[in-house]
Amino acid sequence: MWKELKKNQLVKYGAVTTVSTISYVLLRKWIAGGICRSRTKLHGRTVVITGANTGIGKETAWDMAMRGARVIMACRDLTRGEAAATEIRSSTGNTNVVVQQLNLASLGSVRQFAREFIATETRLDILINNAGIMLCPKSFTVDGFESQFAVNHLGHFLLTNLLLDMLKASTPSRVVIVSSIAHQGGKIHYDDLNFDKKGYNSVIAYKQSKLANLLFSRELARRTKGTGVTSYSLHPGVIRTELWRHSQSKYPTLSSMLSAPAWLLMKTPREGAQTTIYCAVTEGLEDKSGYYFSDCQVKEPALEGRDDLAALRLWGVSAGLVGLN
């Protein structure tokens, strides 16, 4: 009787374990989202990726290198950038991976990068505006702008415009801008972009910058229609990367409690890079210029992300802030 009871318990335990394992695998597959299945090769093509030394930027650089591209890793920290580039060269066998300094918190650095790139490179096929900061304490760049808006939007806005002629000369070419689902509920605070008049909230500031990314891509697509340059924005997913470092320092106890579940409920950097890669290389996306993507498919953005007049206004304001005609 006792042996029979023990046998039944073992059977139940085995069944629970099996169901739990299958459920976990299915959950991880759902969290991972879409996968870029394009086999496009990029031999003879040049790709610039900002923030390419870590997270989804590094995974994107690895993928572009595997496809045979010349990869320019635009990084603020040259030491970390070179370490990442060395790893990518070694693992892919592609020696045409280089690091150039770019600090998006400095418009001067952005202009310097663009000058050097134009002087030394012959083409630009794909520009991936990937770098970003998130939920950081209130701070200002050397140019006097709120850091999240400056790094996530203004720096990339200036960089893209400075390299636009080279993109047009290398058509068909693409601009890929990493936005976020956080654009939902976002607002461009035109009368207080630096949050000087009202209290600073890192979440509201982040939402502003991510909405700006989406609107920038939308207006860029309108302005480049018919030129052979196309533009795409995307939500990469919720990913376990260094972007969370500020929230971890602000809420250490909560972060400690959530760290283990987070590994299960967040995408890995490689999984998070898939939609960026999809927008960069998938064939037949030319008629989707200006669209927003998530999990390797078109997704309708929030209402505020579909406002063409807001996109036009943001372009004009941004151009004035960075000193473009």
Q: Which two tokens stand for residue 70?
A: 């010349």
What is the C-alpha separation between 264 and 244, in angstroms, rounded?
16
Catalytic one of 24, 206, 278, 292: 206
Does the pLDDT value for residue 28 go beyond 80?
A: no
Does the pLDDT value for residue 249 go beyond 70?
A: no
200: DSSP letter: -
pTM: 0.87
Taking Cα atoms as reference points, which of 40, 33, 30 lies closest to residue 63? 40
Taking Cα atoms as reference points, which of 275, 265, 72 lies closest to residue 178? 275
Does residue 232 carry a catalytic annotation?
no
Average pLDDT over the chain reads: 89
Q: Which two tokens stand for residue 133?
A: 């900061």
pLDDT tens digits, residue range 121-157?
Answer: 999 999 999 999 999 999 999 999 999 999 999 999 9
Residues 224-230, mean pLDDT to the nearest whole number:
98
pLDDT tens digits, residue range 87-133?
Answer: 999 999 999 999 999 999 999 999 999 999 999 999 999 999 999 99
Position 17 scores a pLDDT of 56
Position 18 scores a pLDDT of 56
What is the C-alpha separation between 229 and 175, in angstroms, rounded?
8
The Cβ of residue 63 has, within 10 Å, a number of other Cβ atoms equal to 24
pLDDT tens digits, residue range 60-86?
Answer: 999 999 999 999 999 999 999 999 999
Instruction: Let me know the angle formed at the C-alpha of 64 by 61 and 65, rounded to the nearest 5 degrees.
Output: 85
Position 6 scores a pLDDT of 58
- Torsions phi, psi of 132, nearest 5? -175, 165
Q: Give alpha helix (H) positions in 2-106.
A: 2-32, 55-66, 78-92
What is the C-alpha separation between 178 and 273, in angstroms, rounded?
10
- Which of 78 and 255 is assigned the larger pLDDT? 78
Q: What percent of the chain has pLDDT over 90?
A: 79
